[in-house]
């Protein structure tokens, strides 16, 4: 019987963990499915979409830099993905391509897992890029008192606020350290959604003082497992959480959209550990 194909499109794709995650579950359940990597240059996107419909590829994940670009090629887009302004999952329903966003669900499930309740609370968010859109969409639903968005590029932060239609927010310039120190000192939840720390050396912001011990400090980055941002936060008494669960949960949601079945968290974690990925 012909294999059902799903996969990942993006560029470059050398470090992705998604094939390990999905293929481990297909194997565990004895499913005739395979998750492949499709590394595509921008000019190859349109052709791929055509191929996806013809070759009956059941669906794909979409990653950097195409989460927005891909939207114009799809037949329809789910309401939440429209609100986030990005698609990270495509489902091929009988030749019609439908776009979804599961990144924000990955973040919501992480909040739930770590029992982080931000209703009426102060949230400080570093970063205003693609991932920050999904984060803000999820945060908004939880009705925090305020989201303080800290970025270098202020128009980028203004654009984020406009797209997500945030109401209770403030925007701050990253280099204003006295102001940021005060925000951080008053925060109930602190998030790094910048790409700073991927190099294992850099830190977007040095935390001076926390409101109290055990304040959750979250970094979307999962490799390294403990970024310099998380390391210094831990030294100040924070409860630190990295981005691995967001990655796993977004993948599990995509799996469900493609196959109609639930994925398996423990199988994924085991496979990632065996490969030395986490």
Binding interface with ligand NDP (CB under 6 A): 64, 103, 106, 127-132, 151-153, 156, 174, 193-196, 198, 204, 220-222, 243, 246-247, 250
Nearer to ligand NDP by Cβ, of 57 and 138: the residue is 138
Q: Which two tokens stand for residue 175?
A: 């280099």
Nearer to ligand NDP by Cβ, of 13 and 64: the residue is 64
Residue showing the smallest CB distance to ligand NDP in the complex: 129
Nearer to ligand NDP by Cβ, of 198 and 225: the residue is 198
Give the number of other CB atoms < 10 A from CB of residue 77. Answer: 20
Q: Which helix (H) or strand (E) holds 25?
A: helix 18-29
**Rg value, the chain, Cα:** 19
* Nearest distance from C-beta of residue 244 to ligand NDP, angstroms: 7
Active site residue 67: yes
* Nearest distance from C-beta of residue 179 to ligand NDP, angstroms: 16
Nearer to ligand NDP by Cβ, of 53 and 206: the residue is 206
CA 37 to chain centre: 18
DSSP-based helix, strand, coil % in the chain, nearest 5: 40, 20, 40
Among the listed residues 174, 169, 172, 102, the one whose alpha carbon sits nearest the alpha carbon of residue 136: 169
Residues in the chain: 278
* Nearest distance from C-beta of residue 124 to ligand NDP, angstroms: 14
Q: Please identify which of the residues 67, 82, 176, 231 carries the catalytic annotation.
A: 67
Residue positions annotated with a catalytic role: 67
């Amino acid at each position: 019987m012909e294999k059902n194909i799903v996969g990942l499109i993006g560029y470059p794709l050398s470090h992705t963990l998604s094939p390990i995650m999905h293929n481990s579950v297909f194997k565990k359940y004895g499913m005739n499915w395979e998750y492949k990597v499709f590394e595509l240059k921008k000019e190859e996107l349109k052709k791929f979409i055509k191929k996806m419909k013809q070759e009956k590829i059941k669906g794909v994940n979409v990653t950097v830099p195409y989460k927005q670009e891909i939207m114009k090629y799809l037949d329809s887009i789910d309401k939440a993905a429209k609100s986030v302004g990005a698609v990270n999952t495509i489902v091929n329903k009988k030749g019609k391509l439908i776009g979804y966003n599961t990144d924000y669900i990955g973040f919501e499930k992480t909040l739930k897992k770590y029992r982080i309740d931000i209703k009426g609370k102060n949230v400080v968010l570093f970063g205003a890029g693609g991932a920050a859109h999904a984060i803000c969409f999820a945060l908004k639903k939880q009705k925090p008192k305020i989201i303080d968005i800290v970025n270098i590029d202020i128009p980028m932060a203004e654009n984020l606020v406009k797209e997500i239609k945030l109401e209770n927010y403030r925007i701050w310039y990253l280099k204003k350290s006295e102001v940021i120190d005060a925000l951080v000192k008053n925060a109930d939840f602190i998030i790094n959604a910048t790409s700073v720390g991927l190099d294992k050396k850099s830190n977007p912001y040095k935390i001076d003082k926390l409101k109290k011990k055990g304040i959750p400090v979250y970094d979307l980055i999962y490799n390294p497992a403990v970024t310099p941002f998380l390391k210094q936060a831990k030294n100040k008494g924070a409860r630190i959480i990295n981005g691995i669960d967001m990655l796993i949960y977004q993948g599990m949601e995509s799996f469900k959209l493609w196959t109609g079945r639930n994925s398996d968290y423990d199988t994924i974690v085991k496979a990632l550990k065996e490969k030395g990925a986490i």
